[in-house]
Structure 1
């Protein structure tokens, strides 16, 4: 039976290569891809990610080759992304403690949430695609946190790329609130790669300036005391496998992340990059 991969993308812009890389690898392996966004809105690539002439400010060079730009645009404009699943339809929203009848509401929440494990059983892995958009609607998305926790409970691999690693740091059981990457080895968008200005999004006319948080610092704290964040600054690629997590630093790591996901699923890879 063909394996099925669930891809979660932001509705505020994903980086083209960070979807293209894993999809290329899972397509080649014969896997089925299913796409989802927070509310079922069609995802869109960030325009700079489709422009081989765009110079990434921290790196001082283009990070998108002409070939990748063409392939990423074809994927972005294809019908594959036209009808994504909605996390809001799949996963209930946790009630506020201040809502009237909270006890009954939280009981209903956990009752409805219990069906999520059945939904996750349909898939073999979860991929959280990066770009600046996840800053807005994925990093602190409670529904996505519950989805990640369900994949971890099922002992299935979870891939996070660039800012798509942030939800891994924030996905926590409400009882102990310990990060699920505590004690793990991960990579993710490093401080050296942060913009000083120009962090942008799709669908809103807003220049955030620098990112609202330094992801590297969050990952260093979340993995402590026995895990570690690996920036691998100066190395062309940075992908870490510490099962069940596969994390990728940024755009150049997308194809390698997809390759490692296939190796995890087909060859039992459990550790790589550290």
Structure 2
């Protein structure tokens, strides 16, 4: 039986992507799935150095950072996957600050996410990766996440982290686009995963949510959802 194909999406912005939000989904999914990793511009992407420092005690993250560099330094362009959603089981958008600057408005990313959704594939996003969902519209012109419970990096976590350069507050944007249905964990930095009840859509709040979000994706794949 063929292995499921998963498309992981990284930002091409210099603000980069966050180590555990790629490493832990890769850890969970790669033993069971074939994984392609793409970015808007293709080629090399930026691993957030702060995330490497903050997760230096995470054994798998360090192993991943030290041995898997080719995965994020030789990425194909997102546009090369347009029209190919049916070759895949799911699309998974990795977080980090970068998606707030490019994926949120990237035409190929928006087109791909819509294509995956309308092809009855699974759409996942973690942390700031949820910014990639904000401007995706479905066939009737409504936003993909309208009326959906969603999560992503919270305002409180932004403040605690000392982030001052974001173009907008992700929590506020997700809350508006979903129609007031943004949710967060009771405590900052705790994992929070929300799986849609009627769409193949799921989001994770923060770095701690990356692994459980990937585990939810694997469950959905194994159930044949």
TM-score normalised per structure 1? 0.74
Paired with 1:183 and 1:148, the residues of 2 have a C-alpha distance of 17
Summarize deviations over 1:88-145 as a string: whole Å, max 9, x none. 4455xxxxxxxxxxxxxxxxxxxxxxxx1xx111111001000001111111111111
- 1:232 Cα deviation from its structure 2 partner: 1.5
Matched, 1:156 2:111: no
- Tell me the distance in 1 between the aligned counterparts of 2:74 and 2:165: 32
Q: Which runs of 5+ in 1 are unaligned?
A: 53-62, 92-115, 200-208, 270-274
Displacement after TM superposition at 1:74 (Å): 2.6
Q: What's the CA shift for 1:179? A: 1.0
How far does residue 219 in structure 1 lie from its aligned partner after superposition? 1.1
Q: 1:216 to 1:23 in 2, by over 3 A?
A: same
- Counterpart in 2 of 1:212? 167
Residue number in structure 2 paired with 1:241: 195
Find the aligned partners of 2:203 and 2:49 in 1 and give their Cα distance: 24
Q: Which moved more, 1:188-197 or 1:32-41?
A: 188-197
Asked if 1 retains the 8 angstrom alpha-carbon contact of 2:93 and 2:126, the reply is: yes
Instruction: Name the structure 1 match of 2:77.
Output: 86
Residue equivalent to 2:26: 23
2:44 aligned partner: 42
CA RMSD of aligned residues (A): 2.2
Match of 1:260 in 2: 216
- Distance in 2 of aligned mates of 1:232 and 1:2: 33
Structure 2 counterpart of 1:73:
65
Contact 1:51 1:69 in 2 (8 A): no
- The CA distance in 2 between the partners of 1:75 and 1:223, in whole Å, is 39
* Structure 2 spans left out of the alignment, 5+ residues: none
Residue correspondences, number: 219
Compared with structure 1, are the counterparts of its residues 210 and 197 closer, same or farther at alpha carbon in structure 2 (3 Å cutoff)?
farther
